[in-house]
C-alpha cells in the first residue's frame, strides 16, 4: 500500500508512482537516481557498499528508503499527478503552504465524527413511531439486525484499514484496492449516491421539523382545512419548495467556505448529545413525576388535538350542561337533540395520559406490533369500542389516521439510515495521527455507544409512552408536539431545536463529503466520463462535483417524503458495506502475502455473515430498490471493465481469479473433454520480421472468425538467438503480438520463445504451450510461401516437421493457403459457398470448422456444401442418403454431393510431372554446394533444359515455358530434359499397352496413404492433361519411345501425383468459385527423403484455388450426434 511518494521522490521516480495511468503500481523501493558514476563512487566510498554499487540505480540504500517512507504523503490516489497535470496546463501556481502533519487522535478524529454521523434524523423523527408500530420486540429485532450489520462491517473495515497505510479517500480507497477498480468504482459510486441521498434525507427532516413543529404558519401551501390526499399533497409541495431553498443555501455555504462547516461540526454534535441526554433525563423524571400530556379517545380511537378544546362531549358550567367543541365536531348543531355521528353517540370519550411513566407497566401493552393500513384509525388496545362494520365511516378527519401502510420490511428500510455513518472515521484517515490504531478503536466504540443508545431507546420508549402516542407519527394527538419531545426534560423544545440543528449539520456534512468522494473517484481515472468532476477551485474544492451532488440531491428533495427517500439510501449504503465485508473475507481466505492487518479480531466467517446480512437487508427493505441499485452497480462495473482505465492494484479479485484458475486447471487435468465440449483450442504459429512485426496478420483474423472469442487461443512465435542476447527482441515481439491480438480482437495469450534456431523454437511452442489441462488441441500454421526457391528450402522443411510433430502429438492441424487473400474481420460475404471435400474421416473436423466459421458475421451468409468421393465399387446414391441422414443428426444445414471418380488411366503428363519432381529432388540432395553455387548450378540446368525443349518442340515453346517454370521442371539435367513434351499433346496410356511396372494404379490403391486425397492446386495442371486430339499421335509416339525412363520412377509417387491431379481436376470443376475450400490434408512421408515430393503433391492438389484450408484431425472425435 505504500505507493504514494513524497514530492522529493516524485522528482526522481514520479512516473512510476500510483495513479499515473500505468498498468501496474511501481514499488516504492525503486529509486531511479540519475547520479553519475563518479558521484556514485563518491557516495558509496567508505560505506562498505562497493559490492552493491552496480545496483544502486534500482535498489537504493535502506537509509534513503526509510527517509522517503517516513515522509509518506496521505494524498489520495492520483491526486498529485492530477494536480501536476493541471499545473502544467494552467502554468505554475504560487507555492502552497506546507501541509501540517496530521494531529487528530481517536476521540476527535474517529469517535465523535462517527457519533455525529450515526445519530441523526431518524432517531428524532421516526424512532418512536417505529416502536409503536413494530412493537418493542419487533423494533428490538430491527435495531439488533442493523447494528449487528454495522458492527460486523466495522470489524471487516478495521482489518482492511490496518493492513497498511490508508491514504485520504477512506472507504472508496479500501474497497477499490481490495476488490479492484471495477468493484471499487461501482461501489464508490454507490457510496457517493448513498451519501448524496442522505443529504436529501437530512434536508427533508430539517424541513419537516421546521414546518410541523416550529413554524407551521410558514407553509406556502396551506394545509388548514384540507383533508386526506389534498393535505398530503400540500405538505409534500411545501417540502419540495423549502427543501430546494435549503439545499441551495447549503450548497452555497459549502461552496463559499467549507472550513466553517467543519468548525460548526462540534456545535451540531453538541446539539445531538444534549438532545439524547434530555431524553434520558425525561425518562428518569417519568419514574418520579410523569409529565402531563393528555390524549383524548373516542371509544378506542385517538382524536386530533385541534378537534376539541376539552376532552368531553358536555361540560357543566354554573349547573348548566353545555356542549363542547368536540360535540360540535361530530353533530350538526350544539343542541342536545342534534343529529350526531353514530360512532360518537355509541361511544364514550376518555382521556388518558400520553406518558404514563416508566413504572406504569405500559411496556407489556407495547411489546408486540400493531401494523396499520393507510387511513386506519389509531386505536388503543384494551378499550371497548362499539362500531357497526356496515355503517360507513364519517368525520374521519377528526381522528388521528395512519398516513402510510406499515409493515416490518418498511420499518427496516426507514430505520437503517440511522446506523449508517460508520465510515466517517476512515474517511478522515488522512488527518489521523495513527490511523491504524484510531480507526478500529474509534469506529467500534462509536458503534457500541450508538447501538446501546438505540436499544435502550426502544425499550424506554415502549416502557414510558402510550401506544397510540407512539404510533402518532406527527404528534397530532398531543397538540402537535414532537413525540420524543414530550418525553424530554426540561422542555420539548430542547429536542425540537436540537434535532433541527443536528439535521442541518448532517445535511451540510453530506454535501461536503459527497463531492470529495466523487472527486477522488474522478481523479483515479477509472471512470472516463467522470474526469471533469476531478477539477475544482485553486484550493482544491470540488466545484463541479458539488454541482452534480446538488443536482442529484434535488431528486431526493422532489420525492419529498422522508419515508420514501430512506430506503433508497439504505440500498446504496448496504451495497457498500456488503463489499467491504466481501473484501475482508476474500483477503482472509486467499491469504495473500500482503494481508497482514494489525487488527487481529477478525475472521472470514464474520465477514461472510456481515455480507449475508447486508444482502438480506437490501431485499428486506425493498426488493425493487435492491434490484435497481444492483443494476446501477453492474452497469458501472461493466462500463469500467470495457471503457475504463486499466489499473493493477494487487486487488483481491485478481487473487480469487488466480485461485479459481488454479482450481479449474486442476479439474481439467482429470481427463480430456467430452466430445460435446470439444472446441478448437488453437496455437497459432506466426513468424516475425527483423522489426519483430507479424508477417501473417490475417492468421489472427481467421482465428478470430473460428473462435468468436471462445476457448483458448495462444499466439506464438520464436526468436532466433540466445536468451541473454535477444531478450529485448523477444519483448518487442511479444508486444507486437499483443497489439495485433487486440487489433484483431483475439482473446488469448501470446508466447515468445527464444531458441538457437527457429525449428527448435517452433517445436518448443508445440510441446510446452498452455498449462496443465488448458492446452491447445489444434495448431494453425500458414502455408510456406515461395517454398520452391532455394533460399526458402529450410522454411518448408520446418513446415513439414510441424506436420509430423502435430501428428505424433495427436493435435489437429489447420493450414490456410494464400492467407493474404482471406477476409479481414471487417469484411462481409453476402453470398457464396464454403465447400468441404470430405475424403477421409478426420474425427469430424471438416464438419465442425465450417459451422464455427458461419457463426461469425464474415461468413454468416455463406452456404455450406459437402462433397465426398465415391469409387467404382461404391453406391453413390446410398452414400448421399447416408450423408444427409448423418448431417441431419448433427443438426448441420448443408448441401450434399457425391462425386464419382472412376478408375482412370495415368496420363503421360502425370509420369512426366512425377519424373521432373523426382529429378529435381535428387539434384538438390546430391549437390553439396554452397547456396550461391547451388543457385548457379540450377540456373545452368534451367538454361540447358530450355534449350533442349526448344529443339524438341519449338512450336509449343511459349505455352510450355510458363508451365514448366511453375512446376519447377527447369531444374532437371540436360540429358533427361528430352522427356518433356507439350502437355497439350499428351495422351493416356491404356492398360493394354502397360505390361511393365508402369501399369496404372487406382487413386485409392492400398499403396496410397490414408489421407492422400487432400491437397490444393491450380487449374493449369489439370488442363495440361486434357483436350487430347487425333492430331497428337506423332507426339504420342515420342512418349511411348520414352517409356523405359519411366520404369525407374517410384510407382507410389506416380499414384500420388495421379490422385492429386485427378482430385484437383474435380475440385476445380465444382469449387472454383467457392469462398473457401476445406480439404483433408494428407499425412507427411514417414522418412524425410520425400519432403520435397510431399510439398509438390500438396501444391498440385491445391493449384488454382483462391482460399484453401488444409485440415488434419487430431485422432479423436470432435463432433457427435448425441445431445
Q: What is the pLDDT of residues 98-145, one digit of tens each?
A: 555 557 788 888 898 889 888 888 999 999 999 999 999 999 999 999
Nearest to 479 by CA among 351, 236, 294, 223: 294
DSSP string, 976-1016: GGGG---GGG--B--GGG--STT----TT-TTS-TTTT---
The mean pLDDT of 1038-1059, rounded to a whole number, is 59
The pLDDT value recorded for residue 774 is 79
Higher confidence at residue 581 or residue 58? 581
Position with higher pLDDT, 569 vs 168: 569
Look at residue 417 and give its three-state secondary structure. Answer: helix
> Which whole-number Å values give the CA distances from 1085 to 235, 800, 871, 917, 1102, in the listed order?
93, 9, 24, 15, 18
Closest CA to 801 of 753, 751, 759, 764: 759
Dihedral-angle region of residue 480 (phi above 0 means left; psi in -120 to 50 means alpha; beta otherwise): left
Give the model's confidence band at 608: pLDDT under 50 very low, under 70 low, under 90 confident, else very high: very high
- Measured CA to CA, the distance from residue 570 to residue 573 in angstroms comes to 5
Looking at residue 200, its pLDDT comes to 93
Distance of CA 429 to CAs 242, 426, 558, Å? 35, 5, 34
pLDDT, mean over the chain? 76
Q: Assess contact for 1052 and 1060: CB atoms under 8 A.
A: no
Pairing label, strands 812-817, 778-781: parallel
Checking DSSP bridges between strand 863-870 and strand 349-353, what pairing results, if any?
A: unpaired
- Check whether 5 has a pLDDT greater than 50: no
929: pLDDT strictly greater than 60 = no
Residue 186 binned pLDDT confidence (cut-offs 50, 70, 90)? confident
Strand stretches in 822-904, DSSP E: 833-838, 863-870, 895-900
**Number of other CB atoms surrounding residue 815 within 10 Å:** 24
Measure CA of the first residue to CA of the last residue in the chain; give whole Å: 52
Q: Hey, which bits of 667-720 come out as E strands?
A: 682-685, 713-720
pLDDT for the residue 1030:
36
Q: Cis bond leading into 490, ω under 30°?
A: yes
pLDDT(846) > 70: yes
- Mean per-residue pLDDT for 433-457? 91
Highest mean pLDDT among 10-19, 554-563, 661-670: 554-563
CA 506 to chain centre: 35
Residue with cell 507439350: 982
Region 945-949: mean pLDDT is 44
Q: Residue 627 contacts by C-beta under 8 Å, 6 or more apart in sequence?
A: none
Separation between Cα atoms, residue 884 and residue 53, nearest integer Å? 77
Cα–Cα distances (Å) from 796 to 113, 702, 789, 936, 1095, in that order, read 76, 22, 10, 21, 8
**Of 1020 and 591, the one with more pLDDT:** 591
Is the pLDDT reported for residue 43 higher than 60?
Answer: no
Q: What is the pLDDT of residue 934?
A: 53
Q: Which of 4-18, 618-632, 1106-1120 has the lowest mean pLDDT?
A: 4-18
Pure H helices in 746-899: 758-768, 793-808, 845-853, 876-890
Burial class (CB in 10 A: 0-12, 13-18, 19+), 555: middle
C-alpha cell recorded at residue 460: 424506554
How do 863-870 and 833-838 pair as beta strands?
A: parallel
Which of 188-192, 662-666, 816-820, 1004-1008 shows the lowest mean pLDDT across its residues?
1004-1008
| pLDDT reported for residue 604 | 93
Read off φ and ψ for residue 317, nearest 5 degrees.
-125, 115
| CA separation for the pair 130, 410 (Å, rounded) | 10
Q: What dihedral angle (degrees, nearest 10) is formed by the CA atoms of 945, 949, 951, 952? A: 130
Q: Is the pLDDT of residue 995 over 70?
A: no
pLDDT above 70: residue 1084: yes
Place of cell 405538505: 235
Phi and psi angles of residue 57, each rounded to the nearest 5 degrees, phi first: -65, -35
Beta-carbon contacts of residue 1066 (< 8 Å; ≥ 6 apart): 869, 899, 901
Q: Give the dihedral sign, CA 161/165/170/174.
A: negative
CA distance 937 to 931: 10
Nearest to 685 by CA among 657, 717, 712: 717
Give me the percent of the chain exceeding a pLDDT of 90.
16
Of the candidates 768, 696, 688, the residue with the CA atom closest to the CA atom of residue 720:
688
Calpha distance 376→704 (Å, rounded): 66
For residue range 365-391, list pLDDT tens digits in order: 999 988 999 888 888 887 878 877 777
In this model, does residue 444 exceed pLDDT 90? Answer: yes
Q: pLDDT digit string (tens) for 320-358?
A: 888 888 888 888 888 888 888 888 888 888 888 888 988
pLDDT band of 57, cuts 50, 70, 90: low
pLDDT category at 649 given cuts 50, 70, 90 is: low
The predicted pLDDT at position 857 comes to: 87
pLDDT at residue 620 above 80?
yes
In this prediction, residue 149 carries a pLDDT of 95
The span from the CA of 948 to the CA of 972, in Å, is 11
Q: What is the mean pLDDT of residues 249-275?
A: 84
Pair 306, 224: CB distance under 8 Å: no
Burial annotation 934-951 (CB, 10 A radius, 16+ → b, else e): beeebeebbebbbebbee
- In whole angstroms, what is the distance from residue 61 CA to residue 1046 CA? 82
The average pLDDT across 998-1015 equals 36
Mean pLDDT score, 980-1000: 34
849-898: pLDDT as tens digits: 888 888 888 888 899 898 888 777 777 788 888 888 888 877 888 888 88
pLDDT value for 1121: 65
Q: What is the mean pLDDT of residues 773-798?
A: 81
Long-range contacts of 668-673 (CB under 8 A, 24+ apart): 668/772, 668/773, 668/774, 669/772, 669/773, 670/773, 672/1116
Asked which of 112-126, 448-462, 795-809, 896-910 is least confident by mean pLDDT, the reply is 896-910
Bridge partners (DSSP) listed for residue 323: 314
Grade residue 915 by pLDDT with cuts at 50, 70 and 90: low
Residue 1108 to residue 340: CA distance in whole angstroms: 100
Residue 358 near residue 283, CB atoms below 8 Å:
yes
Q: Identify the residue with better confidence: 552 or 1095.
A: 552
Q: Is it the case that residue 85 has pLDDT exceeding 70? A: no
pLDDT at 399 over 70: yes
- Say if residue 707's pLDDT is above 90: no
Which of 764 and 662 is assigned the larger pLDDT? Answer: 764
* Mean pLDDT, range 265-284, rounded to an integer: 90
| Span 85-92, average pLDDT | 47
Task: State residue 306's pLDDT score.
Answer: 81
Helices (H), 381-427: 408-415, 424-427
Amino acid at each position: 500500500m505504500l505507493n504514494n511518494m513524497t514530492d522529493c521522490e516524485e522528482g526522481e521516480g514520479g512516473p512510476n508512482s500510483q495513479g499515473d495511468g500505468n498498468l501496474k503500481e511501481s514499488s516504492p523501493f525503486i529509486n531511479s537516481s540519475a547520479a553519475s558514476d563518479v558521484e556514485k563512487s563518491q557516495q558509496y566510498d567508505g560505506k562498505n557498499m562497493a559490492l552493491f554499487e552496480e545496483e544502486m540505480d534500482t535498489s537504493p540504500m535502506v537509509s534513503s528508503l526509510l527517509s522517503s517512507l517516513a515522509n509518506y504523503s496521505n494524498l489520495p490516489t492520483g491526486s498529485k499527478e492530477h494536480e501536476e497535470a493541471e499545473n502544467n496546463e494552467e502554468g505554475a501556481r504560487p507555492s502552497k503552504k506546507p501541509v501540517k502533519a496530521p494531529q487528530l487522535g481517536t476521540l476527535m478524529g474517529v469517535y465523535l465524527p462517527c457519533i455525529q454521523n450515526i445519530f441523526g434524523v431518524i432517531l428524532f423523527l421516526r424512532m418512536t413511531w417505529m416502536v409503536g408500530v413494530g412493537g418493542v420486540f419487533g423494533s428490538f429485532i430491527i435495531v439488533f439486525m442493523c447494528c449487528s450489520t454495522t458492527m460486523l462491517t466495522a470489524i471487516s473495515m478495521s482489518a482492511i484499514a490496518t493492513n497498511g497505510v490508508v491514504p485520504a479517500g477512506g472507504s472508496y480507497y479500501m474497497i477499490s484496492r481490495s476488490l479492484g477498480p471495477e468493484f471499487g468504482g461501482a461501489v464508490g459510486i454507490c457510496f457517493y449516491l448513498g451519501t448524496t441521498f442522505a443529504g436529501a434525507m437530512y434536508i427533508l427532516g430539517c424541513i419537516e421539523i421546521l414546518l410541523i413543529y416550529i413554524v407551521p404558519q410558514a407553509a406556502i401551501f396551506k394545509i388548514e382545512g384540507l383533508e386526506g390526499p389534498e393535505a398530503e399533497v400540500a405538505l409534500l409541495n411545501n417540502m419540495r419548495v423549502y427543501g430546494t431553498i435549503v439545499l441551495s443555501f447549503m450548497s452555497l455555504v459549502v461552496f463559499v467556505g467549507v472550513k466553517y462547516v467543519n468548525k460548526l461540526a462540534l456545535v451540531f454534535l453538541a446539539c445531538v448529545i444534549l438532545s439524547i441526554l434530555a431524553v434520558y433525563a425525561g425518562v428518569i423524571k417519568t419514574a418520579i413525576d410523569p409529565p402531563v400530556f393528555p390524549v383524548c379517545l373516542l371509544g378506542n380511537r385517538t382524536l386530533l388535538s385541534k378537534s376539541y378544546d376539552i376532552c368531553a362531549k358536555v361540560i357543566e358550567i354554573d349547573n348548566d350542561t353545555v356542549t363542547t367543541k368536540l360535540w360540535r365536531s361530530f353533530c350538526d348543531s350544539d343542541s342536545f337533540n342534534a343529529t350526531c355521528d353514530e360512532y360518537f353517540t355509541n361511544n364514550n370519550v376518555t382521556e388518558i395520559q400520553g406518558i404514563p411513566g416508566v413504572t406504569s407497566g405500559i411496556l407489556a401493552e407495547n411489546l408486540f406490533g400493531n401494523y396499520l393500513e393507510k387511513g386506519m384509525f389509531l386505536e388503543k388496545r384494551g378499550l371497548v369500542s362499539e362500531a357497526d362494520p356496515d355503517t360507513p365511516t364519517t368525520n374521519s378527519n377528526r381522528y388521528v389516521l395512519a398516513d402510510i401502510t406499515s409493515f416490518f420490511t418498511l420499518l427496516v428500510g426507514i430505520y437503517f439510515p440511522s446506523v449508517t455513518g460508520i465510515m466517517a472515521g476512515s474517511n478522515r484517515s488522512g488527518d489521523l495521527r495513527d490511523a491504524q490504531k484510531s480507526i478500529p478503536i474509534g469506529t467500534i466504540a462509536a458503534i457500541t455507544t450508538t447501538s446501546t443508545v438505540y436499544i435502550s431507546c426502544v425499550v424506554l420508549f415502549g416502557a414510558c409512552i402510550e401506544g397510540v402516542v407512539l404510533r402518532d407519527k406527527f404528534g397530532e394527538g398531543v397538540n402537535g408536539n414532537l413525540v420524543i419531545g414530550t418525553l424530554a426534560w426540561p422542555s420539548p423544545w430542547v429536542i425540537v431545536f436540537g434535532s433541527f440543528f443536528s439535521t442541518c449539520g448532517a445535511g451540510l456534512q453530506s454535501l461536503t463529503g459527497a463531492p470529495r468522494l466523487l472527486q477522488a473517484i474522478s481523479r483515479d481515472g477509472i471512470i472516463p466520463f467522470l474526469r471533469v468532476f476531478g477539477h475544482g477551485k485553486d484550493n482544491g474544492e470540488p466545484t463541479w462535483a458539488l454541482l452534480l451532488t446538488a443536482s442529484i440531491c434535488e431528486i431526493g428533495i422532489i420525492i419529498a417524503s422522508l419515508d420514501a427517500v430512506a430506503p433508497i439510501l439504505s440500498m446504496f449504503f448496504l451495497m457498500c458495506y456488503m463489499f467491504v465485508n466481501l473484501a475482508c473475507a476474500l483477503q482472509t481466505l486467499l491469504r495473500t502475502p500482503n494481508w497482514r492487518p494489525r487488527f487481529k479480531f477478525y475472521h472470514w466467517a464474520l465477514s461472510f455473515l456481515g455480507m449475508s446480512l447486508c444482502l438480506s437487508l437490501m431485499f428486506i427493505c425493498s426488493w425493487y430498490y435492491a434490484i435497481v441499485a444492483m443494476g446501477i452497480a453492474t452497469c458501472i462495473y461493466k462500463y469500467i471493465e470495457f471503457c475504463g482505465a486499466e489499473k493493477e492494484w494487487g486487488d483481491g479479485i485478481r487473487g480469487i481469479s488466480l485461485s479459481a484458475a488454479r482450481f479449474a486447471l486442476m479439474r481439467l487435468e482429470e481427463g480430456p473433454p467430452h466430445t460435446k465440449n470439444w472446441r478448437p483450442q488453437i496455437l497459432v504459429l506466426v513468424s516475425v520480421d527483423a522489426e519483430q512485426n507479424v508477417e501473417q496478420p490475417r492468421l489472427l483474423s481467421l482465428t478470430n472468425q473460428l473462435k468468436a472469442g471462445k476457448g483458448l487461443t495462444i499466439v506464438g512465435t520464436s526468436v532466433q538467438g540466445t536468451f541473454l542476447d535477444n531478450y529485448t527482441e523477444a519483448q518487442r515481439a511479444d508486444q507486437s503480438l499483443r497489439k495485433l491480438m487486440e487489433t484483431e480482437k483475439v482473446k488469448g495469450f501470446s508466447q515468445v520463445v527464444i531458441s538457437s534456431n527457429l525449428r527448435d523454437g517452433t517445436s518448443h511452442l508445440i510441446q510446452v504451450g498452455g498449462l496443465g489441462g488448458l492446452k491447445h488441441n489444434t495448431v494453425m500454421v500458414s502455408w510456406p510461401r515461395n517454398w520452391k526457391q532455394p533460399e526458402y528450402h529450410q522454411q518448408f522443411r520446418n513446415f513439414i516437421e510441424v506436420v509430423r510433430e502435430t501428428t505424433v502429438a495427436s493435435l489437429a492441424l489447420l493450414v490456410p493457403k494464400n492467407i493474404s487473400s482471406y477476409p479481414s474481420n471487417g469484411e462481409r460475404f453476402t453470398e457464396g459457398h464454403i465447400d468441404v471435400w470430405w475424403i477421409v474421416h478426420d474425427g469430424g473436423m471438416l464438419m465442425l470448422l465450417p459451422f464455427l466459421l458461419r457463426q461469425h458475421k464474415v461468413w454468416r451468409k455463406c452456404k455450406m456444401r459437402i462433397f465426398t468421393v465415391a469409387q467404382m465399387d461404391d453406391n453413390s446414391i446410398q452414400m448421399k442418403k447416408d450423408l444427409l441422414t448423418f448431417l441431419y443428426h448433427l443438426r448441420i444445414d448443408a448441401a450434399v454431393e457425391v462425386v464419382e471418380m472412376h478408375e482412370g488411366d495415368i496420363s503421360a503428363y502425370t509420369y512426366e510431372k512425377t519424373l521432373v519432381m523426382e529429378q529435381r529432388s535428387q539434384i538438390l540432395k546430391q549437390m553439396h554446394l554452397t547456396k550461391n553455387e547451388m543457385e548457379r548450378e540450377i540456373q545452368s540446368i534451367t538454361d540447358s533444359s530450355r534449350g533442349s525443349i526448344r529443339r524438341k518442340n519449338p512450336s509449343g515453346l511459349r505455352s510450355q515455358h510458363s508451365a514448366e517454370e511453375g512446376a519447377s521442371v527447369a531444374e532437371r539435367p540436360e540429358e533427361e530434359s528430352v522427356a518433356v513434351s507439350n502437355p497439350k499433346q499428351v495422351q493416356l496410356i491404356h492398360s493394354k499397352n502397360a505390361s511393365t511396372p508402369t501399369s496404372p494404379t487406382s487413386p485409392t490403391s492400398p499403396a496410397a496413404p490414408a489421407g492422400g486425397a487432400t491437397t490444393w492446386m491450380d487449374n493449369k495442371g489439370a488442363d495440361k492433361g486434357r483436350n487430347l486430339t487425333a492430331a497428337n499421335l506423332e507426339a504420342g509416339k515420342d512418349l511411348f519411345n520414352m517409356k523405359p525412363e519411366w520404369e525407374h520412377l517410384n510407382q507410389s509417387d506416380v499414384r500420388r501425383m495421379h490422385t492429386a491431379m485427378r482430385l484437383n481436376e474435380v475440385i476445380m470443376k465444382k469449387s472454383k468459385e467457392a469462398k473457401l475450400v476445406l480439404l483433408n490434408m494428407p499425412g507427411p512421408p514417414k522418412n524425410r527423403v520425400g519432403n520435397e515430393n510431399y510439398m509438390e503433391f500438396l501444391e498440385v492438389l491445391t493449384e488454382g484455388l483462391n482460399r484453401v484450408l488444409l485440415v488434419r484431425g487430431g485422432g479423436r472425435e470432435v463432433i457427435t450426434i448425441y445431445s
